[in-house]
Amino acid sequence: MNRSRGLLAVLAIAVIRFAVTSAKAGVDPDKGKAVFEQCAACHSLGEAGDYDGPTLKSIFGRKAGSLEDYRYSAAMKRSAVTWDAMTLDQYVTDPQAFIPGNRMAFAGITDKAERDDLIAYLAIATK
């Protein structure tokens, strides 16, 4: 009970924050490209290749844990998340809080502006 309530609170805050900041100007995909270097150790934007994480190609609109040629954690597969700007923001903020038990070895990005830039970059680069 506590955990799901906690999660709801996190979600609610994230939704509010997202609504507030996405209206702001100054989101910069070029800066997001630099932020993406943290992700690039494990994630390709193109072909799957020899990366430890799944490719991010066409991630917007994709159901989490749905690529057939990638071995996901059970937590990711049953997460019922569909990736969009909001869910990516929540995930990248604190991956283990958003999808507990997932396998991504990443602590998260606490800076909202950095996340906004990153997601703006991903919106372009994953097409």
Partner 1 sequence: MATRLKEVDVVIVGLGWTGGILAKELSEAGMRVVALERGVMRTTNPDFSIPLVRDELKYVVRNALMQNTARETLTFRNRQSDTALPMRQLGSFLPGEGVGGAGVHWNGVTWRWTGIDHTLRSHYEQRYGRAFIPADMPVHDWPVTYKELEPYYDRFERTAGVSGKAGNLRGVTQEGGNVFEAPRDRDYPLPPLEPSYSQLIFAEAAAASGYHPFSRPVANASRAYTNPDGSRLGACVYCGHCERFGCEANAKGSPHITVIPKAMAQPTFELRTHSWVTKVLLDSSKKKAVGVLYTDVATGQEYEQPASIVALCAYAINNVHLMLLSGIGTPYDPSTQKGVVGANYCYQPGGAEQGIRMFFEDKIFNPFMASGAFGVALDDFHASEQFDRGPVGGIGGATIIVGQSNGRPIQTRPVPAGTPRWGAEWKKATAKWYLRSMAINVTTSNMPNRYNYYDLDPTYRNVFGQPLMRLSYNFLDNDRKVFGYISQKALAIAQAMKPTSMNGPGALGDYSIVPYQSTHNTGGATMGATPRDSALNRYLQSWDVSNVFVVGANAFPHNSAYNPTGPVGALAYWVADAIKGRYRARPGLLT
54, 59, 62, 68: CA torsion to nearest 10: -30
Site string for partner 1, 56-95 (x = CB under 8 A): ---------------x-x----------------------
What is the spatial distance between Cα 122 and Cα 127, in angstroms, rounded to a whole number? 8
Q: Which of 21, 22, 38, 126 binds partner 1 (CB under 8 A)?
A: 38
- What DSSP character marks residue 79? S
- Residue 34 in contact with partner 1, rule: CB under 8 A: no
Instruction: Dig out the tokens for 81 from the structure.
Output: 């998340």
By CB under 8 A, what part of segment 96-115 binds partner 1?
101, 103-107
Piece of the chain touching partner 1 by CB under 8 A; list 6-14, 46-54, 60-68, 110-118: 46-54
Instruction: State the residue for tokens 């932020």.
Output: 35
| Angstrom distance (rounded) from CA 64 to CA 115 | 19
Residue 20 makes contact with partner 1 by CB under 8 A: no
